[in-house]
Amino acid sequence: MSSAALPPRHFLLALAVVAVWGTNFVIIKVALEHLPPLLFAALRFALAVLPAILFLPRPAASWPNLAAYGVLIGVGQFGLLYLAMRSSISPGLASLVIQTQVFFTIGLSMLLTQERLRPVQWVALGLAVAGIAVIALNTGGSTTLGGLAVTLVAAASWAAANTVSRRAGRVDALAYVVWSSVFAVPPLLALSWLVEGGEAIVAGLRSADAATWAAVVWQSAGNTLFGFAAWGWLLARHPAATVSPMALLVPVFGIATAAWWMGEPLPAWKLVAAALVIGGLALNLLRKHATTR
């Protein structure tokens, strides 16, 4: 694998992936105009399973591992994220706050391996925490403290899922996501029925228009299948330290498209918070790059 910069075509592919992942937050908001959040999550993962599972062999991971990943990603990450985005956090801020999963992942790794944070990691964490604090001090309107807290729990669930996926070893990333999604659908449907209720489910399905269903399909086909397949393809051909920094553009796309498409305000405090969180993420990635050279 080459350690040089990505060639132009591969760079454009990586840019396309992070653009899809970043703009996805406004797409989520489109679907949430009609569908209850947990039902929306269940539909997203159901379409990620079918028909892809018919063409992808089961990855070399245990059933408990696949189940744990599916529940953590399906219910823990996206179920909670959709709940928060329904009315408690704006798309732009959601795209930023969910990226704190990087630091939750580091924390879980420390608990499991007794590894200690290096000085540069403390600085990176401090920057990210300062950014979240700025958001907390400016909640109100479309973003509440509750929405911020739920999104942070969603980020922690994503981090736990990362830990589970690492234990699966080197498996096909796309097949792993598709097969684990089987275990996300039943609990999401059950929770939707218990929490949102049958009437809300029926009303949501009846009111869903073409844009709603396009958003659901985009979540499955674009965000999940294309995103994971392309990202895995790039990681198989280039060092992670070359590909991973592109992920820093996800919240940039998220904030920019929310401002452009939905008119989400960009006051100075939000730009400061974004700079702090993205700065912390960048510093952590630079540390990884330095240690792998």
Helices (H), 236-267: 240-243, 249-262
What is the helix (H) or strand (E) element at residue 211, kind and residue range? Answer: helix 210-217
140-152 pLDDT, tens digit each: 778 899 999 999 9
Helix 8-32 crosses helix 210-217 at what angle (to 10 degrees)? 140
What is the helix (H) or strand (E) element at residue 39, kind and residue range? Answer: helix 37-49
281 contacts 99 by C-beta, under 8 angstroms: yes
How many beta carbons lie within 10 A of that of residue 146, not counting itself?
A: 13
Side chain identity at 83, as an amino acid letter? L
pTM of the model: 0.90
Most confident region among 164-168, 211-215, 240-244 by mean pLDDT: 211-215
Per-domain boundaries in the chain = 8-292
Is the confidence at residue 4, as pLDDT, over 80?
A: no
pLDDT of 287 reads: 65
Long-range contacts of 210-215 (CB under 8 A, 24+ apart): 211/30, 212/30, 212/31, 212/33, 212/34, 212/35, 215/27, 215/28, 215/30, 215/31
Is the confidence at residue 1, as pLDDT, over 50?
A: no
257-277 pLDDT, tens digit each: 999 998 999 999 999 999 999
Q: What percent of the chain has pLDDT over 90?
A: 61
217 contacts 31 by C-beta, under 8 angstroms: no
Sign of the torsion formed by the C-alpha atoms of 187, 192, 195 and 198: negative
The per-residue b/e assignment along 253-288, b for 16 or more CB within 10 angstroms, e otherwise, is bbbbbbbeeeebeeeeebeebbebbbbbbebbbebe
pLDDT: which is higher, 76 or 232: 76
236 contacts 13 by C-beta, under 8 angstroms: no
DSSP letter assigned to residue 247: G
Alpha-carbon separation of residue 23 from 18, 28, 59 (angstroms): 8, 9, 29
128-141 pLDDT, tens digit each: 999 999 999 988 77
DSSP letter assigned to residue 264: -
pLDDT of 68 reads: 96
> What dihedral angle (degrees, nearest 10) is formed by the CA atoms of 23, 24, 29, 31?
140
Nearest to 158 by CA among 217, 104, 107: 104
How many beta carbons lie within 10 A of that of residue 190, not counting itself?
A: 13
pLDDT of 2 reads: 41
31 contacts 81 by C-beta, under 8 angstroms: no
Among 3-12, 83-92, 151-160, which is the least confidently predicted range?
3-12
d(CA 265, CA 281): 23
DSSP letter assigned to residue 140: B
Is the confidence at residue 111, as pLDDT, over 60?
A: yes
The residues pairing with 143 across neighbouring beta strands, listed in sequence order, are 140
pLDDT: which is higher, 118 or 78: 78
Is the confidence at residue 221, as pLDDT, over 70?
A: yes
21-66 pLDDT, tens digit each: 999 999 999 999 999 999 999 999 999 998 999 999 999 999 999 9
The predicted model gives 108-126 an average pLDDT of 81
d(CA 125, CA 128): 5
Angle (nearest 5°) at CA 77 between 112 and 229 = 90
Q: Is the peptide bond before 51 cis (omega within 30 degrees of 0)?
A: yes
150-191 pLDDT, tens digit each: 999 999 999 899 889 888 888 888 899 999 999 999 999 999
